[in-house]
């Protein structure tokens, strides 16, 4: 198995508060890895560390390594990094621009100007995000005119447009109805042919349904998040090694 | 909503169940063949085959548990998965019956005994045919066929009766043959039980399609006299 992201002795602090302690694990390339755990266990903080989203918070300090393809991203330029690692958020957040412009935004920002090339990218990404058939006749309508499920797929198309290798998803379906949720999950299955996906979800069933690997995080008594267990999803949900995992997935705590 | 991946997983499990069914059919046919030809080597192969059959059953069971745990099946999907758990356990037991017949072949290796092989072969043929039809009905969710199959059991019971009488006659003609005649009864008994278990598969096929748990067992006085179950 190819490792895409390797996390070593990773610690994360908001000021004096330690949010994550001694995290070690590997994320395989072109698989879906889900991170689950009770609220406040640091799973979103962890995910946001992968593309240095936490840099914007002044009191944050980190130690250890997050290696993406062997390169420690904690010391990498965030702009270069974010071309490689795309992100989809909990609430769909299209730009207040047309559907076309939402997708073309990234490639344009990276210097692409030729219209035929941009057209091609927009069509391909909208197809890859299962949205093309629904919007191909309205590419110049506002992205905000779409339903929330469609908006979320537009955000995925926007993330794909800069040809990342990794897509981070932070609760990508929690604001969607069950059908739109299943659509996103099916889409993820296709996307993993080309991308590594890391998804944080509150919804354990979603992790079970949609991921190949699952990492379970919990909090220590001082509220620092730590990794309890990381295993193939089918094993973690049928025969977890840790009692704590078993209690969490069977709804006995959290 | 298609749930492509989930549907694919159920489809794959169904294929595996059919494969297990084929393994059982083959084991039954070969076990009777081993008895007919007094082929001890073939009988021993069936023992080996039974280990593979049991492994297959466990691997299907594991796959079903994984789908239940990870995919939250509901309604028909859930009935299918729960039924397949039951069906594979029936199939595994049928495999044990074939192994039981192979064991008789081995025990009778050097024994001169007139075996009612025509009836045994016919019985096996009918039982395997019933099993095959039941699995087809299960795959196609064909309620009509599934509800009819248990009635075919009568011919099997008739043949069992003939085998039973043959064995009793052997015992009476020479009490020293009692143990061996008993083995002949066991062969008939195994095939009779195998056909009974087909009925359980038919019940599952009906359950998947309709959601109703029905007893399809045809009332059979002889069943009440059974002492070996």
Across residues B36-65, what is the average pLDDT?
97
Give me B172's structure tokens.
């009476």
Q: Which residues contact B156 (CB under 8 A, 6 or more apart)?
A: B123, B126, B127, B130, B191, B192, B195
Q: Are A50 and A232 in contact (CB under 8 A)?
A: no
Task: Tell me how close the Cα of A29 comes to any Cα of chain B, in angstroms.
Answer: 20
Q: Among all residues of chain B, which has the CA nearest to that of A249?
A: B69
Residues of chain B above pLDDT 90, percent = 88
Please tell me the distance from the alpha carbon of residue B50 to that of residue B92, in angstroms, as a whole number: 8
* Model pLDDT for residues A33-81, shown as the tens digit of each residue: 999 999 999 999 999 999 998 888 889 999 999 999 999 998 888 888 8
Q: Where are the alpha helices (DSSP H) in A87-242?
A: 99-109, 115-128, 132-135, 148-160, 178-191, 204-210, 233-236
- In chain A, which residues have their Cβ closer than 8 Å to the Cβ of B70? 208-209, 233-234, 237-238
* Model pLDDT for residues B130-150, shown as the tens digit of each residue: 999 999 999 999 999 999 999
Please tell me the predicted confidence (pLDDT) of residue B220: 55
CATH of span A3-201+209-249? 3.40.50.300
pLDDT band with cut points at 50, 70 and 90 for residue A213: very high
Please tell me the distance from the alpha carbon of residue B204 to that of residue B147, in angstroms, as a whole number: 10
- In chain B, which residues have their Cβ closer than 8 Å to the Cβ of A233? 70
Tell whether the model's pLDDT for residue B229 goes beyond 50: no
Q: Are A43 and A207 in contact (CB under 8 A)?
A: no
CATH of span B4-225? 1.20.58.220
Instruction: Name the average pLDDT for chain B.
Output: 93
Inter-chain CB proximity B70 and A183 less than 8 Å = no
Please tell me the distance from the alpha carbon of residue B179 to that of residue B171, in angstroms, as a whole number: 8
Tell whether the model's pLDDT for residue A230 goes beyond 80: yes
Please tell me the distance from the alpha carbon of residue B53 to that of residue A214, in angstroms, as a whole number: 32
- In chain B, which residues have their Cβ closer than 8 Å to the Cβ of A182? 1, 3
Inter-chain CB proximity A205 and B69 less than 8 Å = no
SS3 B215: coil
- In chain B, which residues have their Cβ closer than 8 Å to the Cβ of A183? 1
Tell whether the model's pLDDT for residue B225 goes beyond 80: no
Across residues A123-143, what is the average pLDDT?
95
Q: Where are chain A's structural domains?
A: 3-201+209-249
Please tell me the distance from the alpha carbon of residue A121 to that of residue A116, in angstroms, as a whole number: 9
pLDDT band with cut points at 50, 70 and 90 for residue B228: very low
Tell whether the model's pLDDT for residue B226 goes beyond 60: no
SS3 A69: coil
Beta-carbon pairs below 8 A across chains A and B? 31
Please tell me the predicted confidence (pLDDT) of residue B33: 98
Q: What is the ipTM of this complex?
A: 0.81
Q: Is pLDDT larger for residue A231 or for residue A75? A: A231
Instruction: Name the average pLDDT for chain A.
Output: 94
Inter-chain CB proximity A209 and B70 less than 8 Å = yes
> What are the C-alpha distances in Å from A74 to residues A46, A98, A170, B54, B161?
12, 34, 20, 52, 81
Please tell me the distance from the alpha carbon of residue A57 to that of residue A61, in angstroms, as a whole number: 9
């Amino acid at each position: 198995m190819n490792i895409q992201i390797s996390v070593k002795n990773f610690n994360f602090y908001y000021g004096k508060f330690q949010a994550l302690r001694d995290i070690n694990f590997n994320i395989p390339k072109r698989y879906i890895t889900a991170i689950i755990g009770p609220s406040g266990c640091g799973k979103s903080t962890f995910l946001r560390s992968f593309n240095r989203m936490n840099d914007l918070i002044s009191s944050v300090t980190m130690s250890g390594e997050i290696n993406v393809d062997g390169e420690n991203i904690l010391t990498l330029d965030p702009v270069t990094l974010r071309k490689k690692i795309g992100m989809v958020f909990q609430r769909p957040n299209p730009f207040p621009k047309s559907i076309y412009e939402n997708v073309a935004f990234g490639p344009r920002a990276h210097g692409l100007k030729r219209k035929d090339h941009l057209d091609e990218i927009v069509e391909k990404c909208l197809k890859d995000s299962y949205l093309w058939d629904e919007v191909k006749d309205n590419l110049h309508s506002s992205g905000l005119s779409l339903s929330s499920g469609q908006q979320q797929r537009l955000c995925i198309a926007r993330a794909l447009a800069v040809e990342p290798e990794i897509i981070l998803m932070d609760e990508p379906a929690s604001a969607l109805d069950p059908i739109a949720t299943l659509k996103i999950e099916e889409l993820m299955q296709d996307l993993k042919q080309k991308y590594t996906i890391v998804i944080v979800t509150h919804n354990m069933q979603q992790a079970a349904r949609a991921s190949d690997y699952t990492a379970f995080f919990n909090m220590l008594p001082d509220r620092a998040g730590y990794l309890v267990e990381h295993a193939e999803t089918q094993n973690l949900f049928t025969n977890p090694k840790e009692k704590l995992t078993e209690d969490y997935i069977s709804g006995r705590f959290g | 909503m298609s749930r492509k991946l989930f549907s694919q997983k159920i489809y794959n499990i169904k294929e595996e169940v059919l494969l297990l069914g084929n393994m059982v059919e083959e084991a039954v046919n070969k076990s009777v063949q081993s008895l007919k030809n007094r082929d001890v080597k073939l009988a021993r192969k069936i023992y080996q085959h039974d280990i593979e059959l049991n492994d297959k059953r466990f691997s299907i069971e594991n796959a079903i548990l994984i789908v239940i745990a990870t995919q939250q099946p509901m309604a028909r999907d859930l009935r299918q998965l729960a039924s397949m758990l039951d069906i594979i356990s029936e199939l595994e037991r049928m495999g044990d019956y074939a192994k039981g017949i192979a064991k008789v072949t081995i025990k009778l290796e050097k024994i001169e005994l007139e075996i009612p092989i025509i009836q045994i072969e016919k019985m096996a043929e009918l039982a395997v045919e019933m099993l095959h039809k039941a699995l087809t009905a299960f795959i196609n969710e064909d309620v009509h066929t599934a509800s009819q199959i248990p009635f075919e059991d009568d011919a099997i019971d008739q043949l069992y009766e003939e085998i039973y009488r043959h064995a009793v006659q052997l015992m009476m003609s020479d009490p020293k043959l009692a143990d061996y005649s008993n083995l002949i009864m066991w062969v008939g008994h195994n095939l009779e039980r195998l056909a009974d278990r087909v009925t359980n598969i038919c019940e599952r096929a009906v359950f998947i399609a309709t959601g109703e748990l029905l007893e399809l067992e045809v009332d059979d006085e002889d069943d009440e006299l059974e002492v070996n179950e």
